[in-house]
Structure 1
């Protein structure tokens, strides 16, 4: 039996989801393998219904009749692989999510670095899965609370995500009123302004806040075209989707880029593991500091 015929037979005999498009176990495994190779995300078969519902929209948009045909297309099309992963990644975020992390950032990292920053020293922070921008902008607002003149100093925040659509959203800095419910009223009044035109009803974050943040598309499984060191890295609710070996690798790479005594903030369901464990010390709820001398 040819490969195509074998796949067809497999598709008929091992259906995971039935509906507008037949979705077989073979289709799921091929998509899961592509997603893991491309992004590190480890999809369990229990996610088959979610994968189907999100990718069925891609099949409709592209006019592709079957998941087998979609697998053929996505295997050879890097742009569609990017769209596939964007469709499958979850972008749950909000301003000042896990408030204790931002309090730790201000008191433990930024306030001790404020005088050095005013003398011309660099301060670098990284939001390693920035989604639609609420996290890095929360970091920027925290920076301005500790160092009000930060926009005139060598203080910058790198914001990265593998999904180009959420990166573009973050760059705009536009948010609806309900998305700002966790922003303290004084910060909302100071740093956000209503907009007119087609975005009427939304609020835009100020140019001063936006100037602190640089958005970039970045796949954590690929090369990282920067050297650090970073005084703080937020990588929250990301590695939970990876297998253990990939988690260990990501923690180690992140930790190597931290400045001595730099902070790593992770998700509430995550735990640092692997070689990075020996380089980090717990310093609060899902907050870690890198071992080493205090940075001058």
Structure 2
């Protein structure tokens, strides 16, 4: 999204075409089925008003296959439950809204939390999207720990394979990087030249700290192992219903160190969803004593 979702499913996608202008057929039944399928696959709850976004995002997939009816596309998907197209379907319906040091107040808290650690620090970015969050975590660890950060590991996961591929490249437009202070840009990025002008690459010493993995938070098994000093799961739970949120939080609990921190998004509140965590403040949670 968190994107897990991230990886996040959001927005209208800038689509404003009228029904008459559409060249593809999306019926109410099709839209209902799409909502059911993305919930089953990724836990994403698509609201009624996301119909225009769904049309806009999936229209590319229909055209790719030479189809004109969403019903034909859905039938093709359901005939092949293991097809690669399911990945494209899921990628299309997730949105990767992220930025370096987004919700900036979390990073000094992480820095303070790990500053005195002598053992290896491990952090999980559970909705890594296109990489800005896990790289920001890695930069924070380097600032807090100096040379000791070489042994640290940031595990970065997302359901969106396209986003993860961009994250692994670690290349960003300069306007994405320019909002950082000049000191961080010099320490952590290499500015491109020639055909790479206007872009910056995350420096190898930062990139080497981050391990990217594909992960669906709804999957019965997660290809990661704890314990972690911190888990970042920000701005992805808002796309799940409360039952799904509670299940995920229960699965987070044993993956955190006893004094570990869980970072949530600014509009997320876990206090009334799970008794596994208690609010410490500033959308940061710790394990409840009974967890």
Q: TM-score, normalised by structure 1?
A: 0.86
Question: Is 1:285–2:282 an aligned residue pair?
Answer: yes
Match of 1:129 among 127, 130, 155: 127
Quote the RMSD (CA, aligned, Å). 1.8
Q: Residue 77 of structure 2: which of 74, 79, 84 is its match?
A: 74
The 1:262/1:212 distance shift into structure 2, 3 A limit, reads same
Partner of 1:110: 114
What does residue range 19-30 of structure 1 map to in structure 2 within 5 Å?
A: 19-30=22-33
Q: Is the 8 A contact 2:30 2:70 kept in 1?
A: yes
The answer for the alignment partner of 1:39 in structure 2 is 42
Greater fraction helix: 1
**Aligned match of 1:100:** 105
Alignment match, 1:172:
169
Structure 2 Cα separation of the partners of residues 135 and 61 of structure 1:
31
Kept in 1: contact 2:228–2:255 (CA 8 A) = yes
> In structure 1, how many angstroms separate the alpha carbons of the residues matched to 2:272 and 2:87?
29
Q: 2:52 aligns with which of 34, 49, 54?
A: 49
Distance 1:24 1:160 in 2: 34
The structure with the largest alpha-carbon Rg is: 1
Cα gap change, 1:93 to 1:203, in 2 (>3 Å): same
Q: Tell me if structure 1 keeps the 8 A contact 2:124–2:230.
A: yes
Residue among 77, 84, 92 paired with 2:89: 84
After TM superposition, the score normalised by the length of structure 2 is 0.87
Structure 1 residue matching 2:232: 3-state secondary structure: strand
Moved over 4 A (4+): none
> Size of the alignment, in residue pairs?
269
Deviation string for 1:122-148 (max 9, x for gaps)?
A: 211000000000000000010001111
- Find the partner of 1:185 among 169, 182, 185: 182
